[in-house]
Amino acid sequence: MGIKAMCRSKLLISLVFAVFVASCSTSPTGRGQLILKSDAELEAQARSTFAAYRATLPLATNRAKIDFVACVAQAVVAELNPPYSDIEWELAIFEQNQINAFAMPGGKIGVYTGILEVTENEHQLAAVIGHEIAHVTAKHVNERASRGSLTGIGIEALAVIMGGGYTGGAYTASQVMSAGAALGMELPMGRGQESEADVVGLEYMAKAGFDPRAAVDLWQNMAALGGKKPPEHLSTHPASDTRIENLINQWQKTLPLYNQALADGKNPDCKKTWN
């Protein structure tokens, strides 16, 4: 290799190293993150995607369901810190049997009515909504998008990795192979993000006056649904037993937050009133 080529190579390495150093940040639980995407870019994409969801999926019309979900979501959002407390969060409730919910950058929350058949009360739904909001406040979407850009992972492969909803998903051999090189980097990070969202989401719900112990009941309900699930090492979501154990380990921290919320008069009266 000639001198000029070596210099170009060293320059490239230096530039790449500078990007890594400039883009590293720390998550709410102290985990290192690589952030390359701008918030404005992701928020613009989220607005477009959320609008497409609203335009193509039927919206719920049951007033009791709408009020119930809105009551829980508003209580959890009220506990956010700036800059997330400074934005106007938008909620859409989709009339879909799928057991799922999501949150997007820029303050977008989507809830599928199917998840209301699994959440027995407002506390369990708060665990779901708190978890999804935590994905946004912990910059998990930005982190995944940044890693996807860095490794050249295509949208289809990323969709395989991120998919599955709350009941998990059965990956076919061809889908796993299409994700290919992503497995080594993306899947472990995905499980870390899910566990982190559980931790942060528990704090949100507890501060809002929802019982964090209900998250364990929620995941026991999810586990009872059965269905074919991928092995934990091939899934972005922790196995149910692992997840439940991690949630219980957080009670020492979150129960005092819950008790303080009740002492402060925070007791959201969000009740399921439909059959």
| CA 217/CA 247 separation, integer angstroms | 10
- Residue 57 is encoded by which pair of tokens? 């999926």
Q: Is residue 65's pLDDT more than 50?
A: yes
- Note the pLDDT tens digit of each residue in 217-253: 988 888 787 655 544 433 445 666 778 888 999 999 9
| pLDDT score recorded for residue 24 | 60
| pLDDT score recorded for residue 78 | 96
| CA 60/CA 132 separation, integer angstroms | 20
- Burial, 215: exposed, middle or buried (Cβ in 10 Å; 0-12, 13-18, 19+)? buried
| pLDDT score recorded for residue 101 | 87
Does residue 35 come out as left (phi exceeding 0), alpha (psi in the -120 to 50 range) or beta? beta
| CA 231/CA 258 separation, integer angstroms | 34
- Burial, 73: exposed, middle or buried (Cβ in 10 Å; 0-12, 13-18, 19+)? buried
Listed residue (198, 208, 204, 203) closest to 269, CA to CA = 208
Amino acid code (one letter) for 48 = S
Listed residue (131, 95, 87) closest to 237, CA to CA = 131
Please state, for a pLDDT cut of 70, what percent of the chain lies above it.
65
- CB neighbours of 62 closer than 8 A, spacing ≥ 6? 113, 274
- Note the pLDDT tens digit of each residue in 173-222: 344 444 444 444 444 446 678 888 889 999 999 999 999 999 999 888 88
Name the band, by pLDDT with cuts 50, 70 and 90, for residue 33: low
Query: What's the whole-model pTM score?
Result: 0.76
